[in-house]
Amino acid sequence: MWLIILYIFLGIGVFFNCLGSVGLLRFPDVYTRLHAATKATTFGSIFTSLAVIAYSFSRWNACGDSKFRVLALHTIVALVCLVITNPTGAHAIARAAHRSGIMPKQAVIDELKEAKLK
């Protein structure tokens, strides 16, 4: 039963990580690349970590070894660190890219620049 959940979580995680790195290659400018790569790889990493958490909880139920409890707990801490730091880093990159003068390709309006002119 939990093995099926494990396979589903791992499949979703690997698929979205694949989409993130393919989107990094396919999109035209830095903002769309950031959009694809950050969102998709964060989502995929959440699901691979959830697979590890499900695995260690089930092994802990099965054999009662406290090693698996520690494994689950540390994986949860790593997951929280990843979820908090990843969008913040993406925000910093996008802000730095806009401040260093890179415009989006085929941009119709740039409201951030117009707001700064006032």
Partner 1 sequence: MNEFFKIFIIPGGLLLLFMFLSLIRLILGPTTPDRIVALDTINTLVVAGMILVGAAYEEVIYIDVAIVYALLSYIGTLYVAKYLEGEAKK
User: What is the contact surface with partner 1 in residues (CB under 8 A)?
Assistant: 6-7, 10, 13-14, 17-18, 20-22, 24-25, 30, 33-34, 37-38, 41-42, 44-45, 48-49, 52, 55-56, 67-68, 70-71, 74-75, 77-78, 81-82, 85-86, 88-90, 92-93, 95-97, 99-102
Tokens standing for residue 11:
């499949």
Minimum separation from the CB atom of position 52 to partner 1 (A): 4
**Least Å distance between CB 11 and partner 1?**
9
Express the helix, strand and coil content of the chain in percent, nearest 5 each: 85, 0, 15
**Residue 102 carries which DSSP code?**
P
Tokens of residue 28, six digits: 């035209």
Contact 97, 31 (CB under 8 A): yes
Instruction: Output 96 or 112, the one with its CB closest to partner 1.
Output: 96
- Do residues 16 and 44 lie in contact, with contact meaning Cβ atoms separated by under 8 Å? yes
Smallest distance, partner 1 to C-beta of residue 108, A: 21
CA pair distance 33, 60, nearest whole angstrom: 40
Four-residue CA torsion sign, 56, 58, 63, 66: positive
Cβ proximity to partner 1, 60 vs 114, nearer residue: 60
Shortest separation between residue 47's beta carbon and partner 1, angstroms = 9
